[in-house]
Amino acid sequence: EIVLTQSPGTLSLSPGEGATLSCRASQNIIVNYLAWYQQKPGQAPRLLIYNAFSRATGIPDRFSGSGSGTDFTLTISRLEPEDFAVYYCQQYGSSPPITFGQGTRLEIK
């Protein structure tokens, strides 16, 4: 099973600043099959990034993904008020199970 470790656990920033969220895998993720999701309170997760760097439909270009192998990053440039949420990484590159990171909470400073 691939274990995903996200850091930091909580990130406190102000609107307009940039955010960098990390996701580290315990093994190489095949074909960079890694996704990022955003979850707001009381809502289902929403797909932001897939295949490590491809933006999902309707996602603003201030969200970008990068990385390969075992180290992946979600970058949010110029934070908007609606971006403050919990972010999860997920891998889908290997046999079961699908695994998620424990999440990074992005909060307003």
Binding site for other proteins (CB under 8 A): 30-31, 33, 35, 37, 43-47, 50-51, 56, 88, 90, 92-103
Give least dist CB 91 to other proteins, A.
8
Sign of the CA dihedral running 21, 27, 30, 33 = negative
Q: Which amino acid is at 45?
A: P
Residue number, 16 or 96, with CB nearest to other proteins: 96
Residue number, 24 or 100, with CB nearest to other proteins: 100
Give least dist CB 35 to other proteins, A.
6
Residue with tokens 């099973």: 1
* Nearest-5° Cα angle at 13, 24 to 18: 65
